[in-house]
Amino acid sequence: MGDLIYPQNTIAVLQKYKFNFQKKYGQNFLIEAHVMNKIIAASCVTKDSFVLEIGPGIGTMTQFLCESAKHVAAVEIDKNLIPILQDTLSSYGNVDIIHEDILKMDIEQLVMEKNEGKPIHVAANLPYYITTPIIMQLLESSVPIESITVMVQKEVADRMKAEPGTKEYGALSLAVQYYANPRIAANVPPNCFMPRPKVGSAVICLDCYKNPPVQVKNEKLMFHIIRASFNQRRKTLVNGLNNFSEIPLTKDQIQQGIEMAGLPANVRGETLSLLQFAKLSDCLYEMIPK
């Protein structure tokens, strides 16, 4: 299974096609079989699964996914990789190679057309320059997703999984944890890639919730509050939220909302859990003139 995972085979393909790595596309190809096996196991993909793979590269992970899933849609931005993928995946009948920018693609339509609108799995060794936009776009979209299993920078994986009060905790942690339960499946050193990235990596699996773990009256307001709280980490919550244009309340009203939510007057945003942000958001929402 998956012969490209061996470095000598990756090198042979790169030489055959005289492929030049494009730094601007975040191209670091995985060349370590035990890491690939961990990704596939963590993804919980089965023979019934439809998988969207973002950035297949030369098709290394795609080969493993084709063996494990019912169908794979592999979306690659670099046109020079398309003929290579057509070659390396030629023996699989259950893959669509799509030449597109994932951030511009209508994924919902793809899922309707190819999987009758049923939930999909996402798997990727992500291009690190757009990790957060890709993940947030997937989570905030109405695409039905069961899980997202991705290789990301270690530091980004730590932020997604971070708990209140830690230095890694921030808007990304709360956004991810509102939509999914994150679990880190593996830490991956630079020597598992060709070429080697400058930073350590990790495989993180986001098991998407059917319903968010907290109920909130106005999701958008809660995320504005979260953003405002972490924009100025050093400030107390009341000062962080004051003067933030999306929160049309006076300092006194914000202070009152903080007290109504049962929080200390001088609390800092970085210590609040998702549940506390939801409660605060509901208290402030009641005060905003509709």
By CB under 6 A, name the binding residues for ligand SAM. Answer: 25-30, 54-57, 60-61, 75-78, 81, 101-103, 125, 127, 130
Query: Is it true that the peptide bond before 195 is cis, omega within 30 degrees of 0?
Result: yes
Q: Is the C-alpha dihedral spanning 35, 37, 40, 44 positive or negative?
A: negative
Q: Which two tokens stand for residue 20?
A: 């030049």
Query: Least Å distance between CB 28 and ligand SAM?
Result: 5
> Would you say 94 or 239 has its CB closer to ligand SAM?
94
Distance CA 123, CA 208 (A): 13
Distance CA 168, CA 264 (A): 23
Distance CA 21, CA 194 (A): 9
> Would you say 95 or 263 has its CB closer to ligand SAM?
95
> Would you say 127 or 170 has its CB closer to ligand SAM?
127
Query: Least Å distance between CB 69 and ligand SAM?
Result: 15
Query: Least Å distance between CB 51 and ligand SAM?
Result: 12
Query: Least Å distance between CB 58 and ligand SAM?
Result: 7
> Would you say 134 or 225 has its CB closer to ligand SAM?
134
Question: Which H, E and C letters describe 228-272, residue by residue?
Answer: HHHHCCCCCHHHHHCCCCCCCCCHHHHHHHHHHCCCCCCCCHHHC
> Would you say 10 or 281 has its CB closer to ligand SAM?
10
Query: Tokens 């999909």 label which residue?
Result: 120
SS3 205: strand
How many other CB atoms are there within 10 angstroms of residue 12's CB atom?
13
Nearest residue to the partner ligand SAM, using Cβ? 55
Query: Least Å distance between CB 201 and ligand SAM?
Result: 9
Length of the chain: 290
> Would you say 101 or 252 has its CB closer to ligand SAM?
101
Query: Least Å distance between CB 260 and ligand SAM?
Result: 44
Closest CA to 10 of 192, 154, 198: 192
> Would you say 130 or 156 has its CB closer to ligand SAM?
130
Query: Least Å distance between CB 56 and ligand SAM?
Result: 5
